[in-house]
Amino acid sequence: MVEPGVYEALARPLVGPLDPYFIGVLDQVRHMLRSTFGTRNPLTWAVSGTGSAGMETAIANFVEPGATFAVLECGFFGNRMTEMGRRQGARVVVLEKPWGEVFGYDEVAEFLRREKPAVVAFVHAETSTGALQDPRPIIRAAREVDALVIADAVTSLGAMPVSVDDVGIDIAYSCSQKGLSCPPGLAPFTASPRAVERLYQRKTPVPAWYLDVRLLGEYFDQHQYHHTASASLYYALHEGLRLIHEEGLENRFARHRRANQAMVRGLEGLGLRMHVAEGHRIPHVNTPRVPDGVDNGKVRKHLLEKHGIEIALGRGPLDGKVFRIGVMGPMANEDCVQMFLGKFGEALTA
């Protein structure tokens, strides 16, 4: 759900991509994104494109052709990283786990010592499963082989801590429409000085001109024309970030945790079992298992047609086996959770 103030921001008058007012908006967005990511990285901005553009920016710039690229894959978006790495001409190696599980230090360290990758990638909050990956064991293992670490924070940013600097993430990207409660179309992105130094050492040009971080830096840092950024989308992101910081990051994160606790209690009260083990769940993406004898598609259709409530189906091996229920931004409160549980229980009975 998008805040009313964000809709109002979308209606503000348009200006050009080099207009002084717009440059000021970009700079304020960068400042607020740094605190939201939990970083002091100078290279922090919002790429023009959806979350997948953020993913491609990370992989195109920091994964060279022929280099070993390790992907920790336990869901749909880990698989997408793998495909992008292959298209970049990297030697892609994959450590897989069942969808809904997370990785521990020992298995990752053994894998990375064997493969010796230049870059390691993982999904922080895997939307397709509802599983939350602790970055610390992965980063510890990656440091032992001197690999850069890419974190997909598409679902986590703005609804829970990402803590880029504290945990040691080198490159992270996200999207504007999930935890930030804005329209889709921008991809927040950050890279550490260590990662930027590696970027300038690469031996081949970045194959994606539009997503070349060095060219984007000429726009964001030196204000030289690169592309025509959407003023409307940046106005929206600016207002979304402003509202987040007005509430306070810790207050916002705590609110999402409380909503998750209420949702899980309610779902279990309806007799459903959560797909992801306690302690490894995304606070704002709930994935209860579909009970025996219940038609997933009919439940979703009932909610949408009778109540205007949309929830997602499972993907890949979880298709038809889980419901995916997002509770983000303005919806992360007790009233919304209880409203949903009542309508959801009705749909299950039907």
Q: Tell me: the pLDDT tens digits for 251-274?
A: 999 999 999 999 999 999 999 999
For 5, 12, 85, 280, 304, the CA distances from 240, given in Å and listed in that order, are: 8, 14, 32, 27, 26
Tell me, what's the pLDDT at 290? 96
Distance CA(338)–CA(35), nearest Å, equals: 32
Give, rounded to a whole angstrom, the gap between the first and last alpha carbons of the chain.
27
C-alpha–C-alpha distance, residues 275 and 269, integer Å: 15
Mean pLDDT within 26-48:
98
Choice between 76 and 195, residue whose per-residue pLDDT is larger: 195
Q: How confident is the model at residue 64 (pLDDT cuts 50, 70, 90)?
A: very high
Model pTM score: 0.96
Name the CATH code of domain 249-349 (choices 3.20.20.70, 3.40.50.300, 3.30.565.10, 3.90.1150.10): 3.90.1150.10
CB 283 within 8 A of CB 262: no
Note the pLDDT of residue 118: 98
Domains 4-246 and 249-349 share a fold: no
pLDDT at 199: 97
Query: Structural domain boundaries of the chain?
Result: 4-246, 249-349
CATH of 4-246, one of 3.30.1360.70, 3.10.450.40, 3.30.70.100, 3.40.640.10: 3.40.640.10
C-alpha 225, offset from chain centre: 28
- pLDDT at position 251: 98
Contacts for 16-22: CB closer than 8 Å, 24+ residues apart: 16/228, 16/231, 17/219, 17/225, 17/227, 17/228, 17/229, 17/231, 18/223, 18/225, 19/231, 22/229, 22/231, 22/234
pLDDT at 278: 93
pLDDT band with cut points at 50, 70 and 90 for residue 325? very high
pLDDT at 299: 97
User: Considering all CA atoms of the chain, what is the largest pairwise distance in Å, rounded to the nearest integer?
Assistant: 61
Q: Are 145 and 110 in contact (CB under 8 A)?
A: no
Q: Which two tokens stand for residue 33?
A: 């994104």
Q: For strand 171-173 and strand 186-191, is the pairing parallel, antiparallel, or unpaired?
A: antiparallel
Alpha carbons 160 and 172: distance in angstroms, whole number = 14
